[in-house]
Amino acid sequence: MKYGTSFAILAALMAIYTFHNGSWFYILLWPALSFALVSIAYFGAGTVVFGKRPNGTLSPGHSVLLAPFLAYLALVWHLVRYFFRESAYNQQTENVFIGRRLLSDERPSHFDHIVDLTCEFNEPVGLRSPGYISFPTLDGHYMAPDVLTQRAAQVAKLDGNVYIHCAQGHGRTATFAIAYLLHVGLWTSVDDAVKYVLKKTACCTAQSIPA
């Protein structure tokens, strides 16, 4: 809800500024529309606003409408990656790794499957195949428990090494990893699974994982 409110306020401020100043400021209506659409996603429309397709790309129409917001996201993502220097990924089990969205040339050869939890990014070409799976999830939101359980079961059936990621490898990824660990029986207690993921994944904090 806080994301939706923040984006709605920003969109409204840009629109007000545009109509107050007129002239070439009307170009600001594009980013205003972009942020307004994202706020609608957080107020209930969900991931459909981003148009993420099964192949890991956003539809052309959605990409154009959301271009200002997507450009903002890309800038933030690169700045965080550059300045914070967190490990790109961490190993959770013998064949499951979790972390941030990788660039094409960062994909290790031993990653047989890529599970993408982002809805707001095009997946880099080098990660889309082979073995790519898209489970679009809003940043700061989490799948419904039954959906999360179903998708964790789907991942548990995969052969080979699996890499699970969101944008920065924090909330969405850690939550999915906990669900996976519980599903395969490595832990029976949610608290123990949370502590394990926090221990194995230095980039995560308790605040990034839902209660």
CA separation for the pair 175, 145 (Å, rounded): 11
The two beta strands, 162-165 and 132-134, are unpaired
The gap from C-alpha 74 to its chain's centroid, in whole angstroms, comes to 12
All structural domains of the chain with their residue ranges: 2-81, 88-204
Q: Are 99 and 176 in contact (CB under 8 A)?
A: no
Amino acid at 150: Q
Instruction: Express as a percent the part of the chain with pLDDT over 70.
Output: 95
| Spatial distance between the Cα atoms of 58 and 61, rounded to a whole number of angstroms | 8
What is the Cα–Cα distance from 175 to 97, expressed in whole angstroms? Answer: 13
Domain 88-204, CATH number (from 3.90.190.10, 3.90.1580.10, 3.30.2030.30, 3.40.50.300): 3.90.190.10
Residue 207 has pLDDT above 50, yes or no: no
Q: Is the pLDDT of residue 202 over 80?
A: no
What's the length of the chain? 211
3-state SS, residue 134 = strand
Q: Which residues contact 211 (CB under 8 A, 6 or more apart)?
A: none
Which residue, 210, 49, 207, is CA-closest to 141? 210
Neighbours of 176 (CB within 10 A): 25
Mean pLDDT for 29-55 is 96
- At residue 59 the predicted structure's pLDDT band, cuts being 50, 70 and 90, is very high
Q: Is 180 left (phi over 0), alpha (psi -120 to 50) or beta?
A: alpha
Q: Give the DSSP letter of residue 170.
A: S
Q: Could you tell me the pTM of the whole model? A: 0.90
- Place 19 in a pLDDT band, splitting at 50, 70 and 90: confident
Among 108, 209, 81, 120, which Cα is nearest to 163's? 108
Mean pLDDT of 21-30: 84
Beta carbons within 10 angstroms of residue 63's beta carbon:
14
Q: Does the pLDDT of residue 208 top 80, yes or no?
A: no
Name the CA dihedral angle for 125, 97, 202, 84, rounded to a multiple of 10 degrees: -10
CB-CB contact of 87 with 106 (8 Å): no
Give me the percent of the chain exceeding a pLDDT of 90: 79
What does DSSP assign to residue 58? B
